[in-house]
Chain A
Amino acid sequence: MDFLEIDSVEISFKNKPILNGIYLKAEQGTVTGILGNNGCGKSTLLRIIFGELQPSFKSLRINGKRFSKPFLTSNEVKYLPQFHFIPKSMTVQNAFYHSNIDINNFYTLFPELINLKNQKFKLLSGGEKRIIETFLILKSNAKFILLDEPFSHIAPVYINRIINLIHKEKQHKAIIVTDHMHKYIIDITDTLYLLKDGWSKEIKNLSDLELYRYLNF
């Protein structure tokens, strides 16, 4: 079973420390959730794991071995950022071609979207873009999947299908997911972390979320 661990992350923006006491572990076969208030550093942490953002210090380990070069060059990690990342001028079909994913798998799961095949991304709605982007990242052959707000702008009926896809894909991947729709995150995750004041805390009991003032039950 592959696993990823990150700790000792130190990063600050304009002298304001964002992350300093982080420990997070994601294992193949599990979904790891990250919850936290706006601006607590959830996306920053995912960008650091992905390798796009370099902190002053970090210790990232894959299967216990330290990994110092940007992770993204290894092709073992894929990251769904908060924003739409597929070039606007690219067609849906081309996005699947460049991602090495059979578009027919997508239409099996989302038959309502079959008419989008030849459309350019700039012409799609925010929800349609999000569904396609989330599908491409989840179905990639990477071992580690980072999902930043995969459920935003998506209708509940599609969210349920994406959740089913996450459950299916986690069998041979380690998935880290964060979203403000905490109910979905709590439902799908096997391990849950809360980010607060720069540190992370593993949540064993949901009442801890109230204790740390993330939720009011």
Chain B
Amino acid sequence: MKKIRLFLKYYQSIAIIPSIATLFFSFQIKSLGISFLIAAVFSKLFILIMIWFLEWMNNRKKENLYFYFNSGITQIQLYTSTFLIDTIILFIVTFIVLWIF
């Protein structure tokens, strides 16, 4: 449970751009159809990769990751969980958008 909270804490630290993208893609799915969901998932993966690339460019010593390393979480685990959390949020928001609007 503590690890999940740590994954969420990391996601929170990079959440602004993925959240905007989630809202944008949810409304796109509403107008273009549910098949656009697959394209949205890949687009969001691309956005996350770009965020991590910029993070790596600005902070090659990985200063922001050592707290997670000391909690026994590797970089791969952190990035994989971030992608999963982001995808789950996309699914939930899309469902809400399709249901309400």
A residues engaging B (CB < 8 A)?
A: 50, 52, 70, 72-75, 78-79, 81, 83-87, 89-90, 97-100, 137, 140
- The stretch that binds A, out of B33-41, B42-50, B67-75, B80-88, is B67-75
Across the interface, do B13 and A81 meet the contact criterion of CB distance under 8 Å?
A: no
Asked if A87 and B72 make an inter-chain contact with CB atoms under 8 angstroms apart, the answer reads: no
Please name the residue on chain B nearest to A85 by beta carbon: B66
Please classify the interface of chain B as helix (H, G, I), strand (E, B), loop, or mixed, using the class held by over half of its residues.
Answer: helix
Q: Which residues of A contact B71 (CB under 8 A)?
A: 98-99
A-B contact pairs, 16 of them (CB 8 A): A52-B66, A70-B74, A72-B72, A73-B74, A74-B72, A75-B72, A81-B61, A83-B66, A85-B66, A85-B67, A86-B67, A87-B13, A90-B67, A98-B67, A98-B71, A99-B71
Number of A-B contacts (CB under 8 A): 48
- Asked if residues A81 and B66 are in contact (CB atoms below 8 Å), the reply is yes
Q: Which residue of A lies closest to B62 (CB)?
A: A52
Q: Flag if B2 contacts A98 (CB, 8 Å).
A: yes
CB distance from A47 to the nearest CB of B (A): 9
Q: Which residues of A contact B62 (CB under 8 A)?
A: 52
From the candidates A50, A87, A97, A99, name the one contacting B64 in the complex (CB within 8 A). Answer: A87
